Amino acid sequence: MFHDYAVNAVHLYKECFKRWSVRACAFNVTLHDDAVVRLLEGLYPVYLEDWLRIFRRDQIMVFRNEDYAEDIKGHIEAAFNFLDLAPLNDTLMAAIAEHDSSNVGVNYGVVGPMLPETIAVLNEFYEPFIHRLAELLQDNKFLWKDIVVT
């Protein structure tokens, strides 16, 4: 079922890209609603380019969720340093770093792993966006070559 939704969403977005700019499609609410699978949330470079029209690159901090999850404390410290804020005391840092995650999918165990065909469809769709993101950030870490999707 998810595979069919993903294939349909990719088709809808590709059709939109033929008629409109990628940015217009990324912000198209009707397309978002029709697609069911929320592909627009992974169009990172589209949104980052908007931010970069207003802010210099050195004024924007970007990190991967996977890296944050591996080292919450280190990423919070880096963010506070980036923002030139005083470090948190150990009690506050522990409260934040140990806080349970919010908005976590609840049915992942029920549906099982993603089909290899679905992974291939989504990888093909996102590939140009991932490359553009790595280019914008000048960091190949954002190619996600070290992450295995199952």
What pLDDT does 105 receive? 63
Residue 110 to residue 112: CA distance in whole angstroms: 6
Residue 48 to residue 101: CA distance in whole angstroms: 25
Residue 146 to residue 113: CA distance in whole angstroms: 18
Residue 14 has pLDDT above 70, yes or no: yes
Which whole number is the average pLDDT over 43-60?
98
What pLDDT does 106 receive? 61
Domain boundaries, the chain: 1-99+112-143
Report whether 130 contacts 143 (CB < 8 A): yes
Q: Which residue, among 44, 47, 43, 51, has the nearest Cα to 10 in the 3D structure?
A: 43
What pLDDT does 148 receive? 81
What digits encode the pLDDT tens for the residues 90-142?
A: 999 999 888 777 666 666 566 778 999 999 999 999 999 999 999 999 999 99
Q: Which of 35-44, 65-74, 109-118, 134-143 comes out lowest in average pLDDT?
A: 109-118
Residue 29 to residue 133: CA distance in whole angstroms: 23
Q: Which residue, among 32, 26, 15, 10, has the nearest Cα to 122 in the 3D structure?
A: 10
What pLDDT does 96 receive? 86
Residue 86 to residue 5: CA distance in whole angstroms: 46
What pLDDT does 72 receive? 93
pTM for the full predicted model: 0.87
Q: Please give the mean pLDDT across all residues of the chain.
A: 93
